[in-house]
Amino acid sequence: MSRVGKNPIPLPGGVQVSVSGLDVVVKGPKGTLTQTVADGIEVKVETDQVVLSRATEQKRHRALHGLYRALINNMVVGVSTGFKVEQELVGVGYRATNQGNLLDMVLGYSHHVVFDIPTEIKVATRQDKGQNPIITLESHDKQLLGQVAARIRSLRTPEPYKGKGIKFVGEQLRRKAGKSASKK
């Protein structure tokens, strides 16, 4: 059984947490995030840490206890240090460029794929000679960052034979062998 919810969340310098009713607001150098907590979960801010407690030992409250502890911890880490995701375009002729928050990609289709990135996320692209293009996404909101990265990846998911598509940097793809010629 997990005991994630019982661990206190340490507050780094420059991060402020305020609780009003069921809303938790986390402010830091990278931005501000808000999360609404369900009934039965109590959030207490102490001097240098945040402690969550549950009202009962019901299965629902135990599950929500760990969930909200993880969400608030991600908010604290996000506003203090931020999150970063790198994606790699694998394929002949695949390219990516950005102008502001407009991401323009060539993914082997007959047209360019233009993706509008939300303003909370900073996007950068780079193309080194002989290397695959890299898309770098940075934000203080881990949920939004993950959602946008998943939507970009879904534009051209990596296929299992040659590995062409958009993958996360460092991701291990499961490859298939392909056809084998029969010998008679």
Mind listing the domains of the chain with CATH numbers? 4-80 (3.90.930.12), 83-168 (3.90.930.12)
- Which tens digit of pLDDT belongs to each residue from 77-128? 999 999 999 999 999 999 999 999 999 999 999 999 999 999 999 999 999 9
Q: Chain centroid to CA 157: how far?
A: 17
Reported as a pLDDT band with limits 50, 70 and 90, residue 3 is confident
Write down the H helix ranges in the chain: 59-80, 142-153
pLDDT tens track for 8-22: 999 998 999 999 989
Mean pLDDT of the chain: 93
- The per-residue pLDDT for 184 is 66
Handedness of CA 8, 147, 20, 40 (dihedral sign): negative
CA atoms of 68 and 2, how far apart (whole Å): 14
Spatial CB neighbours of 29, under 8 Å, sequence gap ≥ 6: 14, 79, 80
Other CB atoms within 10 A of residue 116 CB? 10
Q: What's the whole-model pTM score?
A: 0.89
